[in-house]
């Protein structure tokens, strides 16, 4: 069961969804992540970056210790836990809640024991058969992300997202994860063509009938480079545009590397939209 302090953070975070667009800051304690790999391997650097993201206005921080970029070398759960332990021991004492980005149930369990309140699974509870039970037993929230083994340019991408979510939600229900603790992520950049990434963001509103918060993580993804006109991959400009387009289409949460810039852009966007 979740400790009282973590439960309070979980409930406050879940209650805040929908009141305004929320920002999930990204911390990668990896040597090989696609954008910031190697920058925060040292424990002190990682903790300092968390403090900076909190000061910049993030609502939750997602911490990952294994790169999910295409072609990244897999690591075992012991190495993943070793990268996380010292960082989590400190940052879970901060006021802002923490999320764990992992596909391994053992890693999720270890992070939850530190006080993490959300499991962000890029395989949507479908890779590790123990993951849903770990989430349920810890009373954690979960972000279920759409994924595929490989790209298929002829795919009806929204249809595929729906089929995937339905399988994941059935797993969650069977494990006893309550609906109000589930977030859906369309998986931008995961086994999707550039066109499919754009289409998923544009058609995000078609997924509102699930009645669950939608999260979009387009931050610094490679497909943005072909859209900015300069060919530069993963630009901040393209990221901000994609994040704002996602919020306009119905995203409740954006998962980003650049917290300060997104906080400022969302303040302007929300001021214009709300009045």
Is residue 221 flagged as an active site residue? yes
- Which of the following is catalytic: 9, 10, 104, 255? 255
Is residue 69 flagged as an active site residue? no
Residues 228, 234, 240, 242, CA torsion sign: positive
Query: 143: which residues sit within 8 A by CB, 6+ positions away?
Result: 99, 118, 119, 120, 121, 183, 184, 185, 215
Q: What does each C-alpha distance from 264 to 23, 52, 96, 271 come to in angstroms?
A: 11, 15, 19, 11
- Which of the following is catalytic: 110, 179, 221, 273? 221
Alpha helices in the chain (DSSP H): 4-16, 43-56, 77-91, 105-114, 131-138, 157-175, 194-202, 236-249, 259-274
Residue 112 to residue 20: CA distance in whole angstroms: 26
| Enzyme catalytic residues | 221, 255
């Amino acid at each position: 069961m979740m400790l009282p302090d973590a439960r309070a953070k979980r409930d406050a975070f879940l209650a805040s969804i929908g009141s305004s667009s929320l920002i999930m800051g990204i911390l990668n304690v990896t040597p090989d992540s696609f954008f910031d790999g190697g920058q925060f391997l040292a424990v002190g650097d990682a903790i300092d970056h968390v403090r900076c993201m909190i000061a910049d206005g993030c609502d939750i921080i997602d911490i990952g210790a294994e790169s999910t970029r295409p072609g990244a070398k897999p690591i075992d759960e012991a190495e993943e836990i070793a990268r996380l332990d010292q960082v989590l021991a400190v940052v879970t004492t901060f006021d802002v809640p923490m999320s764990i980005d992992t596909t391994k149930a053992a890693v999720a369990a270890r992070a939850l024991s530190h006080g993490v309140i959300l499991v962000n699974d890029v395989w949507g509870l479908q890779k590790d058969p123990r993951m849903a039970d770990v989430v349920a037993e810890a009373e954690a929230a979960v972000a279920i992300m759409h994924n595929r083994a490989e790209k298929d340019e002829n795919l009806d991408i929204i249809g595929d997202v729906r089929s995937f979510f339905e399988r994941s939600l059935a797993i969650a229900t069977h494990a006893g994860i309550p609906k109000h603790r589930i977030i859906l992520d369309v998986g931008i950049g995961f086994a999707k063509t550039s066109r499919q990434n754009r289409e998923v963001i544009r058609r995000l509103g078609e997924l509102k009938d699930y009645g669950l918060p939608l999260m979009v993580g387009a931050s610094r993804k490679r497909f943005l480079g072909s859209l900015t006109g300069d060919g530069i991959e993963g630009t901040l400009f393209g990221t901000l545009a994609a994040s704002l387009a996602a919020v306009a289409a119905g995203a409740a949460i954006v998962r980003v590397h650049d917290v300060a810039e997104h906080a400022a852009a969302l303040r302007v966007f929300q001021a214009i939209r709300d009045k």
